[in-house]
Amino acid sequence: MATELFFFTSIPNLPFPLIKFPKHHQSLPLFSLAPPTISSRFKTVSSSKARPSSSTVVVHAVQEEVVQTPNSDSKVTPASSSKLVLVAGGSGGVGQLVVASLLSRNIKSRLLLRDPEKATTLFGKQDEETLQVCKGDTRNPKDLDPAIFEGVTHVICCTGTTAFPSRRWDGDNTPEKVDWEGVRNLVSALPSSLKRIVLVSSVGVTKFNELPWSIMNLFGVLKYKKMGEDFVQKSGLPFTIISLCIYCIL
């Protein structure tokens, strides 16, 4: 059953809960990039009726089958050996938070990165059992070999590029290529046994022709994100789409 949740929150300091790390994770530069979200739209095909708590969107999406109280101040969730979460875009602002959260909960993850070196820079040296890294560019279907998805139970796609032309578009890494073609390639490569794909997207994708979203969409970013979302929704896989925004414009 598909459900759609809207929730808007005012978050005084950080948009994500502070995570207590075991000692060996304390060196993670979690907030080296600006964390996102003031409000989020949360779509899911989960039959769970529980609303996500205000500031734990990404974590909750992954955790719904794992822990009941991901924000507990006092407990670190025990290892969940049956889960292997592939994170695409784990070097980005949101992706870093996702990976750090998985590490803090001892959930195994596999990163799909264009530059695997970034994993060591961001997350330090990790046990290979805990954090694996694969080199891959979602624009290139050949990089998305089935071996990458072996044993993967959940996928979180945090890839993206800038909405407006910038150096990050170098090499044709444009919204069309990343938010549409990359997402399509990734979803097409996923095994049907996958328990869930989580796509980190954006608010405004359904209104990209209307002000103020049409400004953000001048180079098509919202249109291409919508195409990516639609592809996920039609994939037949259990999915969650998280719509982020920095500024709440309704």
Ligand X SMILES: NC(=O)c1ccc[n+]([C@@H]2O[C@H](COP(=O)([O-])OP(=O)(O)OC[C@H]3O[C@@H](n4cnc5c(N)ncnc54)[C@H](OP(=O)(O)O)[C@@H]3O)[C@@H](O)[C@H]2O)c1
Binding site for ligand X (CB under 6 A): 33, 36, 88-89, 91-95, 114-115, 118, 137-139, 158-161, 173, 178, 182, 200, 202, 244-246
67 or 196: whose CB is closer to ligand X?
196
CB 41 within 8 A of CB 6: yes
17 or 93: whose CB is closer to ligand X?
93
Peptide bond into 212 cis (omega under 30): yes
- Shortest distance, position 195 Cβ to ligand X, whole Å: 21
- What are the DSSP calls for 2-58, one per residue? -EEEEEE---SS-SSPPPPPPGGGTT--TTSS----SEEEEEE-----PPPPTT-HH
Provide the H-helix boundaries in 64-209. Answer: 93-104, 117-123, 175, 183-189
- Shortest distance, position 37 Cβ to ligand X, whole Å: 6
6 or 69: whose CB is closer to ligand X?
6
- Shortest distance, position 148 Cβ to ligand X, whole Å: 12
- Shortest distance, position 33 Cβ to ligand X, whole Å: 5
Supply 45's token pair. Answer: 């095909």
- Shortest distance, position 18 Cβ to ligand X, whole Å: 19
- Shortest distance, position 114 Cβ to ligand X, whole Å: 4
- What are the DSSP calls for 15-28, one per residue? SSPPPPPPGGGTT-
d(CA 59, CA 77): 12
156 or 194: whose CB is closer to ligand X?
156
Q: Which residue minimizes CB distance to ligand X?
A: 92
- Shortest distance, position 187 Cβ to ligand X, whole Å: 14
Supply 203's token pair. Answer: 């608010």
139 or 223: whose CB is closer to ligand X?
139
The values of phi and psi at residue 91, to 5°, are: -95, -5
Closest among 225, 112, 215 to 174, alpha carbons compared = 225
107 or 242: whose CB is closer to ligand X?
242
Phi-psi region of 89 (alpha: psi -120 to 50; beta: other; left: phi over 0): left
Amino acid at 222: L
52 or 95: whose CB is closer to ligand X?
95
